[in-house]
């Protein structure tokens, strides 16, 4: 069987040095992440009845910044991971990192201004026609500023995708070959793409159309703001927005999971091979991720029923190729490997658990019969915080700790912090899920007193999550001079 090992250049493990850009990306990710978590805590405090806001509109401004900011740093951190490892297989131009970063900063400033200073609170999904019709909560100018800011961030990520796509096409002879189709369908054993290249190719293929759809809706919405007579079909733009939103947030995990493919082999000395099963799984996921977004529109009865049936059945099917292959693959590599369970390895293990486990409530909610009573309840933030907080973030933390050589420095029992993070994270997301079970609606600033028990436990758990996140990020920040020196 054709094999390519996820080990990069033979000497790469010895001196894997991050470029300044990757470090800048990670620093930004870490700092913004902490700030956004504090905003999340603030929302939970408000819902708990422990903190009163002068004006409920402020809750929605905070929620909009939190949602948008988190998706933004998920993409930024994911890009940092993917870029760092992919760069040892193909030639990437760093200018793309610079362009994306500048656009990101412009977007952040615009969005913060629009949301906190001029009051936009239409959620990160900016669902038409809410930006234009706020019921007096904000001016259309602030909505436009927010949307242009989001567009800047999106265009930045698009630049990265195009550069990564270009590099893979040059290095491997096409995106099909990046997915290993010549191996999968023609049985070739030449130029087999390693797992990192396969994942990156998938990211390029799904993210590019998603960003284009997002950009289209981001341009259409402000046009409607300036010229209200230009009507937009609300169902069509809802499709575009959720195609964009669903795909982009999933893609961030596919970017970050590269850290698992790369580090587990280096740590255990057991290779991660590109098998045909691996390739088939990624190809299937590539196509399915693109067609399952209608699971966000199951309560829009005007949607064609067949699209919603696809949304249900393919959401289920999509959950397992990559998960079964990646999740079980990681478990196999770690099983009886004699690995030392330090902070780095435990974070990688948690990330696999968080991703696989978080998919379960997601698939449950993507079932029409369940969605009828779970849609827009706390179940929804429950499932996505599960795989973002316990899947995506541990991948990014692991990457930070790896660059900081934390595995050498962490004393015995050094993975205690990761275990605590898991416990607090599970409690926090569990309370969202229980809220969904109790029919607590999502996106409500003021909660009924019978819901507050979940909110309060979640608030305390969130504080724990934030303390541990601070520790991980501080470990990374403290070692930046060494990381840059490549010591």
The smaller minimum CB distance to other proteins, of residues 338 and 481, is found at 338
Q: CA quadruple 73, 421, 462, 425: dihedral positive or negative?
A: positive
449 contacts other proteins (rule: CB under 8 A): no
The DSSP output letter for 192 is P
Binding site partner of 31, from Cu ion, ligand HEM, other proteins, none, Cβ cut-off 5-8 A by kind: none
Neighbours of 411 (CB within 10 A): 8
The smaller minimum CB distance to other proteins, of residues 29 and 239, is found at 239
Taken as a whole, the chain contains a residue count of 487
Neighbours of 335 (CB within 10 A): 11
375 contacts other proteins (rule: CB under 8 A): yes
- What does the per-residue mask of binding to ligand HEM show for 147-176, with x meaning CB under 6 A? ------------------------------
Kindly give, in sequence order, each residue whose CB lies less than 8 Å from that of residue 448, ignoring residues fewer than 6 positions away.
none
123 contacts ligand HEM (rule: CB under 6 A): yes
The smaller minimum CB distance to other proteins, of residues 190 and 233, is found at 233
49 contacts other proteins (rule: CB under 8 A): no
Kindly give, in sequence order, each residue whose CB lies less than 8 Å from that of residue 374, ignoring residues fewer than 6 positions away.
364, 365, 380, 436
Binding window for other proteins (CB under 8 A); candidates: 103-111, 355-363, 467-475, 479-487 = 355-363
Interface positions, 386-445, toward ligand HEM (CB under 6 A) = 388-389, 393, 442-444
Binding site partner of 338, from Cu ion, other proteins, ligand HEM, none, Cβ cut-off 5-8 A by kind: other proteins
444 contacts other proteins (rule: CB under 8 A): yes
Q: How many Å apart are CA 350 and CA 421, to the nearest integer?
A: 9
| Position among 177, 182, 238, 246 found at the interface with Cu ion (CB under 5 A) | 246
318 contacts other proteins (rule: CB under 8 A): no
Kindly give, in sequence order, each residue whose CB lies less than 8 Å from that of residue 209, ignoring residues fewer than 6 positions away.
247, 290
470 contacts other proteins (rule: CB under 8 A): no
Total residues at interface with other proteins (CB under 8 A): 74
463 contacts other proteins (rule: CB under 8 A): no
Q: How many Å apart are CA 115 and CA 444, to the nearest integer?
A: 18
Kindly give, in sequence order, each residue whose CB lies less than 8 Å from that of residue 186, ignoring residues fewer than 6 positions away.
none
Binding site partner of 389, from Cu ion, ligand HEM, other proteins, none, Cβ cut-off 5-8 A by kind: ligand HEM
The smaller minimum CB distance to ligand HEM, of residues 90 and 237, is found at 237
67 contacts ligand HEM (rule: CB under 6 A): yes
360 contacts other proteins (rule: CB under 8 A): yes
What pairs with residue 273 in β-bridges? 5
Helix (H, G, I), strand (E, B) or coil at 300: coil
Residue in 99, 104, 96 with CA at minimum distance from that of residue 73: 104
102 contacts other proteins (rule: CB under 8 A): no
CA distances from 118 to 35, 140, 144, 146 (A): 20, 10, 11, 10
CB of 442 to ligand HEM, least distance (A): 3
Residue in 365, 358, 360 with CA at minimum distance from that of residue 311: 365
Q: How many Å apart are CA 177 and CA 154, to the nearest integer?
A: 27
The smaller minimum CB distance to other proteins, of residues 66 and 238, is found at 238
The answer to whether the CB of 480 falls within 8 A of the CB of 27 is yes
324 contacts other proteins (rule: CB under 8 A): yes
CB of 459 to ligand HEM, least distance (A): 8
CB of 361 to ligand HEM, least distance (A): 15
Binding window for ligand HEM (CB under 6 A); candidates: 70-78, 225-233, 260-268, 411-419 = 70-78
The answer to whether the CB of 197 falls within 8 A of the CB of 90 is yes
| Position among 438, 460, 471, 484 found at the interface with other proteins (CB under 8 A) | 438
The smaller minimum CB distance to other proteins, of residues 152 and 374, is found at 374
The answer to whether the CB of 249 falls within 8 A of the CB of 67 is no
The alpha-carbon radius of gyration of the chain (Å, integer) is 22
The answer to whether the CB of 368 falls within 8 A of the CB of 296 is no
Q: How many Å apart are CA 313 and CA 211, to the nearest integer?
A: 25
At 28, phi and psi to the nearest 5?
A: -60, -45
- What does the per-residue mask of binding to ligand HEM show for 11-50, with x meaning CB under 6 A? --------------------------x--xx-xx------
| Nearest residue relative to ligand HEM (C-beta) | 40
What pairs with residue 377 in β-bridges? 441
Binding window for other proteins (CB under 8 A); candidates: 12-20, 206-214, 315-323, 391-399 = 315-323
Name the residues that contact Cu ion, by CB under 5 A.
246
């Amino acid at each position: 069987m054709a094999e390519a090992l996820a080990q990069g250049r033979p000497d790469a493990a010895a001196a894997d040095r991050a470029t300044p850009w990757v470090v800048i990306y990670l620093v930004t990710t870490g700092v913004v992440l902490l700030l956004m978590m504090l905003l999340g805590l603030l929302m939970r405090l408000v819902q708990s009845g422990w903190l009163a806001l002068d004006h409920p509109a402020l809750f929605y401004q905070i929620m909009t910044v939190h949602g948008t900011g988190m998706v933004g740093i998920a993409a930024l951190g994911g890009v940092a991971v993917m870029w760092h490892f992919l760069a040892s297989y193909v030639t990437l131009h760093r200018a793309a990192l610079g362009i994306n970063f500048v656009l990101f900063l412009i977007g952040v400033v615009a969005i913060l201004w629009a949301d906190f200073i001029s009051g936009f609170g239409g959620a990160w999904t900016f669902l038409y026609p809410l930006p234009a019709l706020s019921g007096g909560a904000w001016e259309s100018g602030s909505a436009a500023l927010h949307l242009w800011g989001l567009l800047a961030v999106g265009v930045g990520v698009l630049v990265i995708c195009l550069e990564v796509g270009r590099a893979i096409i040059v290095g491997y002879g096409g995106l099909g070959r990046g997915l290993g189709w010549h191996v999968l369908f023609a049985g070739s054993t030449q130029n087999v793409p390693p797992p990192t290249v396969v994942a990156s190719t998938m990211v390029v293929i799904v993210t590019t159309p998603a960003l284009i759809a997002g950009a289209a809706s981001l341009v259409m919405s402000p046009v409607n703001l300036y010229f209200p007579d230009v009507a937009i079909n609300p169902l069509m733009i809802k499709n575009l927005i959720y195609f964009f939103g669903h795909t982009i947030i999933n893609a961030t995990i596919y970017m970050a999971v590269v850290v698992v493919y790369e580090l587990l082999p280096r740590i255990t000395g057991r290779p991660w091979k590109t098998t045909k099963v691996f390739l088939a799984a990624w190809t299937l996921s590539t196509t399915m991720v693109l067609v399952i977004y209608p699971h966000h529109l199951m309560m829009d009865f005007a949607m064609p029923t067949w699209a919603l049936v696809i949304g249900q059945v393919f959401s289920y099917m999509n959950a397992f190729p990559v998960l079964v292959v990646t999740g079980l693959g990681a478990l196999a590599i770690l099983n009886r490997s004699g690995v030392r369970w330090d902070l780095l390895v435990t974070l990688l293990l948690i990330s696999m658990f968080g991703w696989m486990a978080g998919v379960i409530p997601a698939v449950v909610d993507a079932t029409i019969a369940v969605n009828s009573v779970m849609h827009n309840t706390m179940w929804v933030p429950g499932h996505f915080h599960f795989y973002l907080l316990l899947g995506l973030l541990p991948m990014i933390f692991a990457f930070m700790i790896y660059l900081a050589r934390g595995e050498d420095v962490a004393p015995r029992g050094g993975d205690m912090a990761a275990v605590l993070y898991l416990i607090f994270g599970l409690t926090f997301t569990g309370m969202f899920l229980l809220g969904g079970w109790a029919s607590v609606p999502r996106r409500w600033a003021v909660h009924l007193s019978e819901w507050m028990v979940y909110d309060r436990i979640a608030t305390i758990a969130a504080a724990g999550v934030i303390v541990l996140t601070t520790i991980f990020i501080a470990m990374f920040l403290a070692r930046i001079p060494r990381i840059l020196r490549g010591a």
